[in-house]
């Protein structure tokens, strides 16, 4: 059984988010939440919210046990970029790109 949760338009770049999700890929869902709670990276909070949402979906909608679920698939894809310009020296512009990401978590039951 597969349970999915998606968080869109998170204001953290996908590269920074992937560093966090690479550490919890394949872990038990409860163990991953405990690990994310003590990580100092700013991307840990939205990833933890997405994993908690997937756990809640599994328990409420499908009646699965929390202890049997593990993170089968987790990814951070690129979302729309916000571009603007800041004034630089000699009348030039300095481009600024604010990146965002979509976080997807898929939980499965261990057999």
Per-residue pLDDT reduced to its tens digit, 28-37: 999 999 999 9
Q: Would the pLDDT of 111 be above 90?
A: no
User: Are 47 and 20 in contact, with CB atoms under 8 Å apart?
Assistant: yes
Q: Are 7 and 56 in contact (CB under 8 A)?
A: no
How far CA 29 is from CA of 50, 77, 79, 90, in Å, comes to 11, 21, 25, 53
pLDDT tens profile 6-31 = 999 999 999 999 999 999 999 999 99
- Domains of the chain by residue range: 2-109
Q: Which fold has domain 2-109?
A: Ribosomal Protein L22; Chain A (3.90.470)
């Amino acid at each position: 059984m597969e349970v999915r949760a998606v968080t869109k338009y998170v204001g953290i770049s996908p590269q920074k988010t992937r560093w966090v999700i690479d550490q919890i890929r394949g872990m038990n869902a409860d163990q991953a939440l405990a690990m994310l709670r003590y990580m100092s990276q700013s991307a840990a909070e939205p990833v933890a919210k997405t994993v908690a949402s997937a756990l809640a979906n599994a328990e409420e909608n499908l009646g699965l046990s929390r202890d049997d679920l593990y993170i089968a698939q987790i990814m951070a894809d690129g979302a729309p970029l916000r571009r603007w310009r800041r004034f630089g020296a000699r009348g030039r512009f300095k481009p600024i790109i604010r990146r965002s990401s979509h976080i997807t978590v898929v939980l499965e039951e261990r057999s």
